[in-house]
Amino acid sequence: MSNSAAQLAYLAPELVVAVGAVAVLALDILLPERSRRLLARATAAALLASLAAVWWLYAGEVAGRPERLFTGTLVRDGYSLFLDAVFLLAGILGALVSARYVDREGLQSGEYYALMLFAVLGMMLMAVSAELVTLFISYEILSLSVYVLSGIARGRAESAEAAMKYFLLGAFSSGFLIYGIALIYGATGTTALEAIGAAVMSRGLFGNSLLLIGMALVTVGFAFKVAAVPFHGWVPDVYQGAPLPVTAFMSAGVKAAAFGALARVLFTAFGSLSAVWQPALWLLALLTMVLGNTAAIAQTNIKRMLAYSSIAHAGYMLAGVAAYTAGDVALGSVLYYALVYTAMNIGAFAVVLVVGREGEGNQELSDYRGLAVRHPWVAAGMALFMVSLSGLPPTAGFLGKFYILNAALRANLIGLAVALVLASLISWYYYLRVVWLMYFIKPGEAPPTLSGAPSLRLAVGMAAVLVLILGLWPSAALNLAQVAALTVTAGGLPVIGRP
Amino acid sequence: MLKDYFPILVMLVMAVGFGVTMIFLSSIAGRKRPTATKESPYECGSIPVGTARIRFDVKFYLVAILFILFDLEVVFLWPWAVLFIERLGLFGLVEVAIFVGILLVGFVYAWRKGALEWQ
């Protein structure tokens, strides 16, 4: 028993979020109707407490040495701690941008915040999973919460449509994932990631078709969730139809969680098969970058534009995973990018929320005309996020892309690196168009009235500060990402080609 | 080996005997006033003949979900109850209390939100 209690201490961040989620549900039925606003604060408090627990584990130097928990189903290492921090950041920013919106649109606040916390819990459990069945269950905790969240504005047909599409395609992708897991188990006789890696080596399963098909299916399952082309079909409709704060939260959080799990599975279990999956990821990354960026150009709705932009960013991160041969540099660049993307993307969505009106109004690009004249600070924030998303210095987006390029070049993926630069060039057009609209075009007849909720302003401010700090003084965060990556790659197996 | 199956045989005989006895007793002692509705095959309350492509009330969905919740609770409680005295002790009691506690919050939530009302 004492042994279990000691192991639970390593899961303090996850436990805090779980308790918080149940507490929010309990508060929702205990509190009178008029004090439901407290729920947003309770959510933020739970997430902050969990972040403190992450910091406490970092201070206890857990990051450097992986700790296997509960007979090896979970592993607490720097990798999962870093990802936990990213998910919690997404959760905190997500809760901040939700507070005003949930009131205004009359959403079920208890369910909303509880589901948000459960989604964060699912992400965190995905990051600590060291075994495929646990990973799958965590993936489902995350997915089910997000399906419901995207349909929580029941009154709007688009929201219901988004939830339905997301649910059907998501269930389909879960099918791919669990089928792949079954085949991998059939080929290796284990679901533990490290044991799979060892079985591939010791039994020479390099050409085992069962294992290869299983690996492909698992990759497809995650490719759905990270929105990689050609598994991206659901993204524009779901991102546009879901309530705006939900889109902001899931575009960053779900993507980071899926990338975290995908990279851990590929690096830990299938490192010795990298000669097989590297070209596949190479192609996925290329398609995702090119299609995401070119389709974003044609959009007139800012939510839809950001949806395609999020597809494009999934492509950049896939390039980082594909650079497997660069080892911890590749994984570190993906982790760093996940952090940067969370800050800049939720920041951009927060500005869209500031400009937006009731019932998802004011979300056309034309609504941003002349924003800088009347609301210089809001426009400045948006300009910062757009510049960062397009990957120009001195912002975090530039450094994030720089490190992924660095990893791709070290892994000798010259073609992919060139494609990444070209794709970024395309993206300048539609990101900088927003800046141009805000600063150089005269405002329309109806000046936008802004939602000046303090929580929303705080979110924009926090995201902007993070984007600047991560762009100008990246060494601390980058160092953490590097340590985190090392805990996965150092324990991994040597890279060899297919015999 | 065969002796191990004896309790199952006893159980089988008792179950069949009980069922047969009850049907026999009700057929001689019960009153019979048949109507068309009573004579029709039993279909859990829905009309037994007609198109199968009818719309179901969404309330059934809620009931089904709540059912799964408590069905699974029993699935977990059963092995716990079997092993409780011999193996699990206080640790098992605390674990199961947490598990039931989480379910209970969910149940009270569904109740207070009106999920159990049929209106």
Instruction: Give the Cα separation of A490 and A453 in Å (integer).
Output: 46
On whether the CB atoms of residues B110 and B59 are closer than 8 A, the answer is: no
The domain of A259 spans 2-489
What is the DSSP code string of chain B?
-GGGGHHHHHHHHHHHHHHHHHHHHHHHHS-----HHHHSPP-TTS-SSS-S-PPPPTHHHHHHHHHHHHHHHHHHHHHHHHHIIIIIHHHHHHHHHHHHHHHHHHHHHHHHTTTT---
A18: closest chain B residue by CA: B102
CB contact under 8 A, B109 and A110: yes
The structure's pTM equals: 0.89
Test A29 with B102 for CB contact under 8 angstroms. Answer: no
Whether residue B109 and residue A25 make contact (CB cut-off 8 A), yes or no, is yes
Q: Which among A1, A4, A25 is the nearest to B105, CB-wise? A: A25
CB under 8 A, 24+ apart: contacts of A168-171: A169/A224, A169/A233, A169/A234, A170/A143, A170/A224, A170/A225, A170/A234
The CATH label, of 3.40.50.300, 1.10.3470.10, 3.30.710.10, 1.20.58.1610, for the domain at B56-119 is 1.20.58.1610
Domain ranges, ordered by start, for chain B: 56-119
ipTM of the complex as predicted: 0.77
* Residues B109, A1: C-beta atoms closer than 8 Å: no
- For the segment A52-78, what is each residue's pLDDT rounded down to a tens digit? 999 999 888 776 678 888 888 999 988
- Minimal C-alpha gap between B111 and chain A (Å): 10
Query: What is the C-alpha to C-alpha distance for residues B102 and A344, in angstroms, rounded to an integer?
Result: 36
Q: Do A29 and B109 touch (CB under 8 A)?
A: yes
Shortest CA distance from B88: residue in chain A: A1
Q: How does pLDDT run across A421-447, given as a tens digit for each residue?
A: 999 999 999 999 999 999 998 876 665
Distance, CA of A439 to CA of A370 (rounded, Å): 6
pLDDT digits (tens, 9 = 90+) for A90-118: 999 999 999 888 888 888 888 999 999 99
Q: Do A26 and B106 touch (CB under 8 A)?
A: no
Residues of A in contact with B102 (CB under 8 A): 22
Residue with tokens 């398609």: A287
> What tens-digit pLDDT sequence spans chain B (119 residues)?
778 889 999 999 999 999 999 999 998 988 888 888 778 777 776 777 778 787 777 788 888 888 888 888 888 888 888 887 777 788 888 888 998 998 889 889 888 888 788 77
Residue A499 resides in a domain: no
Of A1, A4, A22, the CB nearest to B102: A22
* pLDDT 10s digits, B74-90: 888 888 888 877 777 88
Contact (Cβ atoms closer than 8 angstroms) between residue A223 and residue A281? no
Q: How many domains does chain A have?
A: 1
